[in-house]
Each structure stands twice: as structure tokens, then as C-alpha cells.
């Protein structure tokens, strides 16, 4: 069994074509990409990554460069479960969440990519395989767009092949949010999958009021209505709001998802493979959701996550994220009839343009 020889870390600032904003994170002109390349003693390589909305990337890269290598170098690369726990507990006292778990996520993704490449299998098949065609929605970061610009963006996504759309809500006045959701529903027509994302904007009472106002417009889900720390608040919104709730992009472990699910606080658990602990944790979260008869969705990193949902019988929608890497990877995500196709290439199949990224250091 191959042993880990070395780890190479990269930190890149990816400019966005236009400045984006949502209800809590402010203006975003760029995102940070933190890469992790794991090589084994035979010279095989696996690649992982995580990202931020513009800050803290240096802390994550430093953990990958300085803290993680002494914990994993010389250990057997195929032992993903043992490596995950060794790093989790090795960094637990000063970590447990935040930059530490994002760094662990990037490492774990790289290890699974390496394992799948050595097996000459696409990652989704190594994970069990269910269906390589995954329903996919376009996740717009569009809170400050006019209604006209919002509908124009939507038409662009429809032209690309998307058959489900998510929009932002959480403007200063609920009336404006409702008008925008109503305009989107009219534009898309009855029955077309439409999601709305509040990015943690509201109090519980505000969220209940908003959810009730959205009921006539048939949302597939309302996402992150309040802060992720308030499990009981999410349960109250579930009970009183009348709209399914998606949450989880800001949860950092299997155990946090367990608390949500057992409390009846989420309809669509929504892990992000780059910040929940990697492939190892994402798949456990998906299986936990399956045990409670819940559909699992995803946040971010669609080029990796398409493989994970392709291995889940309880998958719902893959998010095609606004922070895309299309310009810096060899094979961008492929859509067909509203579904993303998990690639048949070994591993996760992402080939980075390292020379292009080097210009962004």
C-alpha cells in the first residue's frame, strides 16, 4: 500500500467577472482557492481544494503547509478513515472548526482523488455508484440585481441547460423580496423548481413571516433563513413557516448535521465538501440523511460534488456554484437535460491549469 511522500499547497485569489453580494457577506470581488496536492511514494498524485469568499485563505494554507504534513507523511495513503481521524484529533484542541476543518477537507478530497486514480475508477464509482446524471440548479448571487437583470441572468442560465434556479433574498424590506420571488415564479412558470437563499439574514420571527409570504410562490426550499448556530430556531421555522428548509453550508461536522436532523430543523441537509470535512464526512452526512428519509443537496465545489451526489440514492439537487473554476480547469461541468454528468475520468477528474493559477498568487 502506498505511503504519503509529500504535500504541496497553493493559495490563489480568483477575480470574479463582476462584484457579487448577498445579504450578509457584503461585496465579493474575488474568492480564494486553496489547493492540496498529495503525492505518494510511487509518484501518484491526488488533488483537493477548498475556498473562501475572500478572506482567511492564508490561515487555511498555513495549516496545510505547516500543521498537517507531520501528521500524515509516511502514513498509508489509502487509509482515508484513519488519516481523517488522526488529523481531526491532532488539530482538535486548536481547531475543531473554521480554517482547520477547511484544510482537512482539502486534504481528504485529495486522498480520495488519489485512491480513485490508483483504482482507475471515477470517484462516484469508488464511492458505490448510483446514477451519474445528477439534477442540477444554477445558484445565482444576485441580491442587488434589478428584477430586469435578475430575469436576464435567469434566461442565461436556462440557455446553458439549467432546469432549476436559486435566487437570493434578504433585502432590507420583505415586500421587495416577495415581489422578486413572484416575478421569478411568473417568469419560470408553475412547477419549475425555484429555491431562495437568505444567507442567514433574519431573526426567527422574521424568517417565519418571510416563509409564509413565499408560500404562494411554491419554493422548493428556503435556504439558511437564520444563523446556523440556532438549531431550535430552524425547527420553529420548519413548523410554522410552511416552506421546506435547506441548511448546512456553514456546518462543519457530521455531528452538527446530526443535531439538525434529529431536531427536525432541516428538510434538505446541505453539506459543502470543502468545509464539512471532505469526502469522508460528506458521504456520512448523506447516509445519515438517508436514514431519516431526507433528500441531500450540496453547496459549492460542483466539480467534485457531482461525484458524491452521483453515489447517493437520496440526492436531490447539485448546486452549480457562483464561484466557478471553469477558466482554470481542463473539463468544466457538463449539463444535459438539466442534469450534471459525473465524469468517467479516474478520480474526480479535475485538471487544474497550474500555470494560469500561478499568475494569481
Q: Which residues form the catalytic set? A: 168, 299
Which residues are paired to 76 by β-bridges?
Answer: 3
Q: Does residue 60 contact residue 48 with C-beta atoms inside 8 Å? A: no
CB atoms within 10 A of CB 38: 28
What is the Cα 268 distance to its own chain's centre? Answer: 13
Check if the beta carbon of residue 113 is closer than 8 Å to that of residue 281. no
Beta bridge pairs of residue 136:
318
What is the residue whose three cell numbers read 459543502? 272
> What is the distance between the alpha carbons of residues 293 and 356, in angstroms, rounded to a whole number?
44
Alpha helices per DSSP H over 189-251:
204-214, 231-241
- C-alpha–C-alpha distance, residues 283 and 281, integer Å: 5
Query: Is the distance from CB of 207 to CB of 241 less than 8 angstroms?
Result: yes
Burial class (CB in 10 A: 0-12, 13-18, 19+), 74: exposed
Per DSSP, the chain holds a count of helices (H) and strands (E) of 13, 12
**Residues in contact with 113: Cβ distance below 8 Å, sequence separation at least 6, in sequence order:** 46, 47, 48, 123, 347, 348, 350
Beta bridge partners of 268: 246
Choose among 131, 104, 356, 115: nearest CA to 253: 104
- Extract the C-alpha cell encoding 86: 488522526
DSSP E strand boundaries for 23-179: 26-40, 45-52, 133-139, 165-168
Amino acid at each position: 500500500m502506498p505511503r504519503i511522500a509529500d504535500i504541496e499547497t497553493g493559495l490563489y485569489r480568483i477575480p470574479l467577472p463582476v462584484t457579487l453580494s448577498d445579504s450578509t457577506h457584503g461585496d465579493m470581488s474575488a474568492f480564494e482557492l486553496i489547493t492540496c496536492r498529495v503525492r505518494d511514494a510511487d509518484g501518484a498524485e491526488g488533488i483537493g481544494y477548498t475556498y473562501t469568499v475572500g478572506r482567511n485563505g492564508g490561515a487555511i494554507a498555513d495549516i496545510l503547509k505547516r500543521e498537517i504534513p507531520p501528521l500524515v507523511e509516511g502514513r498509508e495513503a489509502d487509509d482515508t478513515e484513519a488519516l481523517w481521524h488522526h488529523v481531526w484529533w491532532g488539530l482538535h484542541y486548536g481547531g475543531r472548526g473554521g480554517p482547520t476543518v477547511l484544510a482537512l477537507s482539502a486534504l481528504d478530497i485529495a486522498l480520495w482523488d488519489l485512491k480513485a486514480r490508483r483504482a482507475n475508477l471515477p470517484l462516484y464509482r469508488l464511492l458505490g455508484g448510483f446514477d451519474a446524471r445528477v439534477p442540477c440548479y444554477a445558484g445565482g448571487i444576485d441580491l442587488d440585481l434589478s428584477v430586469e437583470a435578475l430575469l436576464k441572468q435567469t434566461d442565461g442560465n436556462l440557455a446553458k441547460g439549467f432546469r432549476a434556479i436559486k435566487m437570493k433574498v434578504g433585502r432590507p424590506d420583505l415586500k421587495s423580496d416577495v415581489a422578486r420571488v413572484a416575478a421569478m415564479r411568473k417568469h419560470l412558470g408553475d412547477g419549475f423548481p425555484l429555491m431562495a437563499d437568505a444567507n442567514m439574514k433574519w431573526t426567527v420571527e422574521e424568517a417565519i413571516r418571510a416563509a409564509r409570504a413565499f408560500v404562494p410562490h411554491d419554493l422548493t426550499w428556503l435556504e439558511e433563513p437564520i444563523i446556523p448556530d440556532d438549531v431550535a430556531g430552524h425547527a420553529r421555522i420548519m413548523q410554522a413557516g410552511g416552506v421546506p428548509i435547506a441548511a448546512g453550508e456553514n456546518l462543519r461536522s457530521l455531528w452538527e448535521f446530526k443535531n439538525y436532523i434529529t431536531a427536525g430543523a432541516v428538510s434538505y441537509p446541505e453539506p459543502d465538501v470543502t468545509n464539512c470535512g471532505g469526502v469522508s464526512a460528506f458521504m456520512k452526512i448523506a447516509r445519515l440523511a438517508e436514514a431519516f428519509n431526507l433528500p441531500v443537496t450540496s453547496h459549492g465545489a460542483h466539480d467534485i460534488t457531482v461525484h458524491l451526489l452521483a453515489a447517493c440514492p437520496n440526492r436531490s439537487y447539485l448546486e452549480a456554484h457562483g464561484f466557478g473554476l471553469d477558466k482554470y480547469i481542463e473539463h468544466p461541468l457538463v449539463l444535459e437535460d438539466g442534469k450534471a454528468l459525473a465524469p468517467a475520468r479516474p478520480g474526480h477528474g479535475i485538471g487544474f491549469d497550474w500555470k494560469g493559477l500561478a499568475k494569481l498568487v
